[in-house]
A and B are shown apart, each in its own frame.
Chain A
Amino acid sequence: DAKTTQPTSMDCAEGRAANLPCNHSTISGNEYVYWYRQIHSQGPQYIIHGLKNNETNEMASLIITEDRKSSTLILPHATLRDTAVYYCIVRVYTGTASKLTFGTGTRLQVTL
């Protein structure tokens, strides 16, 4: 799986949009970009994933650049409960296994 690079930490004011960047310059054509988050002491929580097109669901939006070498996770109106470590993962479907390779992620702190 391609390696990803994320900032170690970020701050965001409550009510503002949180934009979390991720670089994946070695991504290949069949690799998807996934975002998970981990709130303290809990298991990772799936947020969103995409291949080429931008994606949106009830939790967040995912913006993938045209060359697919980077992406941004957007939490449109961050709340204190969004404080967590956010992981950007690229993953290829091998036809048999589906393995996630977690890095150290971005620690997002949402403040009043």
Chain B
Amino acid sequence: NAGVTQTPKFRILKIGQSMTLQCTQDMNHNYMYWYRQDPGMGLKLIYYSVGAGITDKGEVPNGYNVSRSTTEDFPLRLELAAPSQTSVYFCASSLSGGNQPQHFGDGTRLSIL
């Protein structure tokens, strides 16, 4: 059972480039989340999804887009990369939105130069 899998693990982008961070889970969880973590800080929610076809903004959505076409996958897209988006990105999932704990992937370390 793989849990939450994120790819790639590391990436360097130039300013203005675009890329998609992939996230997939094999636990049949309905809820999925994207967080970013800046050095020495806690995690901040970017976007979340409560099911296929449904997404909503978190605390820091600007500069990002998401889609949820299947239960398993929740990709995060950066359209015009900026240095302020240099961060570690974590994807998480939970069975439901109640008391169920969130399960996290190991993150994608992204540098924008």
Q: Are A98 and B56 in contact (CB under 8 A)?
A: no
Query: In the complex, which residues of chain B have a beta carbon less than 8 angstroms from the beta carbon of A34?
Result: 101
Q: Decide if A96 touches B50 in the complex (CB within 8 Å).
A: yes
B69 to chain A, nearest CB (A): 20
Q: In the complex, which residues of chain A have a beta carbon less than 8 angstroms from the beta carbon of B58?
A: 99
Contact B97 A104 (CB under 8 A): no
Number of interface residues of A (CB under 8 A): 23
Whether the pair B102, A46 counts as a contact (CB closer than 8 A) is yes
Instruction: Decide if B45 touches A99 in the complex (CB within 8 Å).
Output: yes
Asked whether B97 lies within 8 Å of A96 as measured between CB atoms, the reply is yes
- Near A by CB (< 8 A), chain B positions 37-53 give 37, 40-45, 48, 50
Q: Across the interface, do A103 and B42 meet the contact criterion of CB distance under 8 Å?
A: yes
* Stretch of B13-21, B72-80, B103-111 on the interface side: B103-111
Chain A interface SS verdict (over half): loop
Q: Choose among B4, B42, B48, B105 the residue that contacts A102 (Cβ–Cβ < 8 A).
A: B42
Determine whether the beta carbon of A98 is less than 8 Å from that of B42.
no
Chain B, residues 82-113, CB within 8 Å of chain A (1/0): the string is 00000000101010111111111111000000
What residues of chain A lie closer than 8 Å to B103, measured between beta carbons?
46
Between A and B, how many residue pairs show CB distances below 8 Å?
Answer: 62
Of listed A94, A99, A103, A105, residue having the most chain B CB within 10 A: A99
| B43 x A97 contact (CB < 8 A) | no
Assembled-state Cα–Cα distance A59/B107 (Å): 23
Q: Is the CB of A100 within 8 A of B45?
A: yes
Given contacts A93-B99, A98-B31, contact A44 B43 (CB under 8 A): yes
Shortest CB-to-CB span from B64 to chain A, Å, is 16
Q: Point out the residue from B40, B98, B102 that lies within 8 Å of A104, measured CB to CB.
A: B40
Chain B residue, CB-CB nearest to A95: B97
A-to-B contact residues, CB < 8 Å:
32, 34, 41-46, 49, 87, 93-105
Give the interface of B toward A (CB within 8 A): 4, 31, 33, 35, 37, 40-45, 48, 50, 56, 58, 90, 92, 94, 96-107
